[in-house]
Amino acid sequence: ENESSVSITVVGASGDLAKKKIFPALFALYYEGCLPKHFTVFGYARSKMTDAELRNMVSKTLTCRIDQRENCGEKMDQFLKRCFYHSGQYDSQEHFEALDKKLKEHEGGRESNRLFYLSIPPNIFIDAVKCASSSASAASGWTRVIVEKPFGRDSESSAALTKALKQYLTEDQIFRIDHYLGKELVENLSVLRFSNLIFEPLWSRQYIRNVQLIFSEDFGTEGRGGYFDNYGIIRDIMQNHLLQILALFAMETPVSLDAEDIRNEKVKVLRSMRTLRLEDVVIGQYKSHTRGGVTHPGYTDDKTVPKDSVTPTFAAAALFIDNARWDGVPFLMKAGKALHNRSAEIRVQFRHVPGNLYNRNIGTDLDQATNELVIRVQPDEAIYLKINNKVPGLGMRLDRSNLNLLYSTRYSKEIPDAYERLLLDAIEGERRLFIRSDELDAAWSLFTPVLKELEEKRTIPEYYPYGSRGPVGAHYLAARYKVRWGDLG
């Protein structure tokens, strides 16, 4: 095993994702000593570039995390020496054959294992898979392909993509990334729930009143309008990132921690969900806004976005799981761009204490008295629990205080980027955090009818100013289910 080689070919090497995430993650893994002894990184793209030029491009993206400063420059040089470039078209067998030759030279007769990371637009995806698998797959060891969303835009196109992929690859060669699954606090969800007696028994409709999955960004789609306008926030964030978190949160206890056992439970819970209805969705789009003398552009001010676009940059939705554990519990999602802050969190609101002795000491707002567990995925990773507590003093007044686990004070280690974990897992063949095709089908079936209806009717989004808290429609939607968004206090 030690003498086998692993090559990682980043197809679409000059793209944004490659520069921002993939190369830096590979370097971090190298720094940590996680990459195999004989590894090579190849950048593959259309533009002409020499190895030296690629190294120069990559070197600009590398940083050393705070706890990794030692020998950082030296390590970077060593890493860069293992990086090479190959220029080729994405649909050319010949160009992939030439890549194959170079890979063979690097493998030097060792067992070859090849990972292809496809960081390219969906329209050239299948051609690249076809060429890579037929002209450059490993002669002896494994060949794996990491693919990034969009995995289609609805049930039909996703099924067609899966079918096309399976002409060239088997399901266990396909690693569909959802980078939210690689985030530290998302990984921790199962630990929190399944290894703490004080949480596990509470994880059901009996004690939980509602669950909220909230994603917000304080910047718009600047520069990505062309991609975004074809997808919208429901496809960009909800159908994948938030739904994946929901599935992990709500699944039944898996038989074991094996990838198949976990993914079986995730599919089961996704299949138990009710198809989202139009009346349970609110959509919004941001408008230009001037604050403190600075004007932030509206979504349709982006040159790559049609002036009359009704693509949502914000959405809120109420989802339900029709099974014994979650019957009647609203799972509320909210996702938006160009809002007042950047954050991703899971909020679990518990029921009222029946016959609470202290109700009158809490004031009139009973909602304020329920417990709430907050898992802040980012930034400032934290887990905190809101409890009722007596305000010290001679009287009897209660307030809500936090039992607070803030990662930055508890752990001195920097939290790895999601892509580090995911790349390492793909190299090691660990599939737990990747999306299986049946999960993907189930996820699309939930959202496809509503997406079609919104598009057929050209539903006008509720406009909200750049930098605001989003459309008020989100409050009415929550209120219909007697819920108040936890992030708004």
Active site residues: 241
381 near ligand BG6 (CB under 6 A): no
Question: Residue 145, Cβ neighbours under 10 Å: how many?
Answer: 24
Q: Which residues contact 66 (CB under 8 A, 6 or more apart)?
A: 414
Q: Which is nearer to ligand BG6, 179 or 431 (CB)?
A: 179
Q: Shortest approach of ligand BG6 to residue 224 CB, angstroms? A: 7
Q: Shortest approach of ligand BG6 to residue 118 CB, angstroms? A: 15
Q: Which is nearer to ligand BG6, 228 or 320 (CB)?
A: 228
> 61-64 long-range CB contacts below 8 Å, 24 or more apart?
61/19, 61/20, 61/23, 61/24, 62/23, 62/24, 62/27, 63/24, 64/31
Q: Which is nearer to ligand BG6, 338 or 344 (CB)?
A: 344
Question: Residue 487, Cβ neighbours under 10 Å: how many?
Answer: 16
Q: Shortest approach of ligand BG6 to residue 65 CB, angstroms? A: 16
Q: Which is nearer to ligand BG6, 115 or 344 (CB)?
A: 344
Binding to ligand BG6 in span 164-223, by CB under 6 A: 179, 217
Q: Shortest approach of ligand BG6 to residue 336 CB, angstroms? A: 11
Q: Shortest approach of ligand BG6 to residue 100 CB, angstroms? A: 31
Q: Which is nearer to ligand BG6, 7 or 244 (CB)?
A: 244
Q: Which is nearer to ligand BG6, 20 or 352 (CB)?
A: 20
Binding mask 44-63 vs ligand BG6 (x if CB under 6 A, - otherwise)?
A: --------------------
Q: Shortest approach of ligand BG6 to residue 179 CB, angstroms? A: 6
Q: Shortest approach of ligand BG6 to residue 290 CB, angstroms? A: 24
Q: Which is nearer to ligand BG6, 232 or 298 (CB)?
A: 232
Among 314, 316, 282, 285, smallest CA distance to 298 is for: 285
Binding mask 121-140 vs ligand BG6 (x if CB under 6 A, - otherwise)?
A: --------------------
Binding mask 314-353 vs ligand BG6 (x if CB under 6 A, - otherwise)?
A: ------------------------------x---------
The answer to whether 318 and 328 are in contact (CB under 8 A) is no
Two structure tokens written together for 203: 């994880």
Burial 31-69 (b: 16+ CB within 10 A, else e): beebbeebbbbbbbbbeebeeeebbebbeeebebbeeee
DSSP readout, 372-439? Answer: EEEEEEESS-EEEEEEEEEPSSSS--EEEEEEEEEHHHH--SPPPPHHHHHHHHHHHT--TTS--HHH
The answer to whether 40 and 51 are in contact (CB under 8 A) is no
236 near ligand BG6 (CB under 6 A): yes
Task: Give SS3 for 186.
Answer: helix
Question: Residue 294, Cβ neighbours under 10 Å: how many?
Answer: 9
Residue of closest CB approach to ligand BG6: 236
Binding to ligand BG6 in span 277-316, by CB under 6 A: none
Two structure tokens written together for 418: 């999601």
Q: Which residues contact 59 (CB under 8 A, 6 or more apart)?
A: 76, 80
Distance, CA of 112 to CA of 5 (rounded, Å):
5
Q: How many residues does the chain have?
A: 489
Q: Return the bridge partners of 289, or none.
A: 296
Distance, CA of 288 to CA of 298 (rounded, Å):
4
Binding mask 63-92 vs ligand BG6 (x if CB under 6 A, - otherwise)?
A: ------------------------------
Q: Shortest approach of ligand BG6 to residue 221 CB, angstroms? A: 7
Q: Which is nearer to ligand BG6, 57 or 338 (CB)?
A: 338
Q: Binding residues for ligand BG6, per CB under 6 A?
A: 179, 217, 236, 344
